[in-house]
Structure formats: structure tokens, C-alpha cells
Amino acid sequence: MIAQTNLSGFCSNPKNLHFPPQSSPSFIRSPQIVSFKSISNPTIPINVSSKRLLQCSSISQSSDVFPSDVDESAGGLRRKKLAVFVSGGGSNFRSIYEATVNGLVHGDVVVLVTNKPGCGGAEYARDKGIPVILFPKPKESISEDDLVDTLRRYEIDFIILAGYLKLIPTELIRAYPRSILNIHPSLLPAFGGKGFYGMKVHNAVIKSGARFSGPTVHYVDEHYDTGRILAQSVVPVLADDTADKLAARVLHKEHEMYVDVVAAICEERVIWRADGVPIIRSKNNPDEYC
């Protein structure tokens, strides 16, 4: 059943749902080591005990990039700070960034991490005045702890993977529990795992004879595409489909659904059932879940 938003799942008032007392929206507050607003040096030291640096683009301090932290229209919630990871064109990153600017997402993209500094996503970030961090950095021994320290200096709340093709370090997953999301272009757990990305996924779906596909947003763990599923959206596989045609339809759903999910986490509407499954509370009716 398709929910009223772009999330596939259920929106109901389930009387038999019981959440543990410690359940809370899926977010963490990073240690406030360095305020992002106070940074003016374009080169950010990432480890006070090390001379190694991650090179960042110049950091804009315009009010467009840094709106007020607290919005009364959003119930007094603090705007969340997002780090987006990309390796390619970054179309999902662009959709999310535009949604933050247009007020659809109660958060801000404050830094972009990439392993390909010349990719389209990185160029777009620079055009918008968003700092770009290169990780991993070729020919230099920059540790995972250095990356964690850098993100904490930016006071990052959530990490959003948008076509980042490197396996996320265990150190980062431990530092940001239940706070790293990825989007995959198939209905996981089908057609996921190492080697399944991009057009390889869509070719495999068509060759399998599957009648349905679609994107999945899931939490990130130590392995490829095995984290807890948060949202899915169904796309039919047509009889005369090619991988290119299917990819275009799935990508359109990705742009819609990922924005909806990021909006939900920034509004603290993700809760965890007693069995460890994350679900999204409806924005319009807090007694319904999507």
C-alpha cells in the first residue's frame, strides 16, 4: 500500500505497536567542538594532534547558507546539520539541497564529502558555497578518526549518502549510530550488496524477470545495503523496459522519496519499534505511521 507521501509502507493507527521507553526520534547531537558558523579559514584542521589536513573549499557565511537554528513554525525544533556524501553527479544531493533552501526540509547541508573532487556533485556544492571534503584522499594517510573529528567540528546531526561508492568506515558508523542513511535503486534486500550499483542493478532486475522495482532508503551498517530499511517506493518493471528506462523512473522516485525521508529525520519523526524496525510518524497525523 502506498502512503500519502512518496513513502511506501503503512500509515495507520496500530493499537498493537509498543515502543520501548527509551525509544526516541532517530537523531543524535554531536559534541559541540567547533561551531560551523565561526569557521572562516578555508582549510580546516581535522585532528588537533596531527598536522594532516582535509582540504575544504571556502566557507560562505551568508544568511542563505545559515538560516536561524530554531524555527517556531517547525514546533521550535532546531534545524539539523547535514553532511552529504557523493561520488557522481549528485542528483539526489541537489534535490535535498533545494528542499532545504525551499523550506521543505528543516535542515541545512553544511558540508559535502566526496572521493572524486571533480564529480558533478562536488562542483554543485562549490557553486553553492558548501565546503567540499575529499575522503579518502589519494596518496595520503588520512584516518577514519580524522574524518569523524572533522564532521563533529561541523556539528553534523545526520550523514546522507547520495551515490557514494565507498564503504563507510566502521569508526564513522559507531560515531553516528542510527544517523547515516543511504538510498539504493532496488527494493532491498533484492539486488543489493557489493557490486550492485547504478545500471548494474537495473540490468539485473530486468534479467531476473521481476515485475517491480524501486528505491529503498535504509540505515547504514558495516556492510553494503544490509542496514535497517526505513522507506521504499514501488516502480513497475514494464515488459519492454530497458535498463535506461527503468533507471529513469526509479531515479524520479528517488528524488521524491529521499527528500521526504530527510524531512522526516530533521523533524524527529523517525521512531524505532521494539523489534528494532524504524518507522516514520506521519507529519499530518502523529498517530499514524508511514
Which residues are known to be catalytic? 184
Cβ atoms of residues 290 and 10 within 8 Å: yes
Cβ atoms of residues 17 and 278 within 8 Å: no
Per-residue b/e over 129-167, b at no fewer than 16 CB within 10 Å? ebbbbbbebeeeebebebbbbbbbbbbbbbbbbbbbeee
Count of alpha carbons within 13 angstroms of residue 135, beta-carbon side: 29
* Cell of residue 184, nine digits: 539504493
Closest-CA residue to 125 (of 106, 112, 137, 107):
112
Written as one letter, the residue type at 28 is: I
The residues that bridge with 272 in the sheet, in sequence order, are: 278
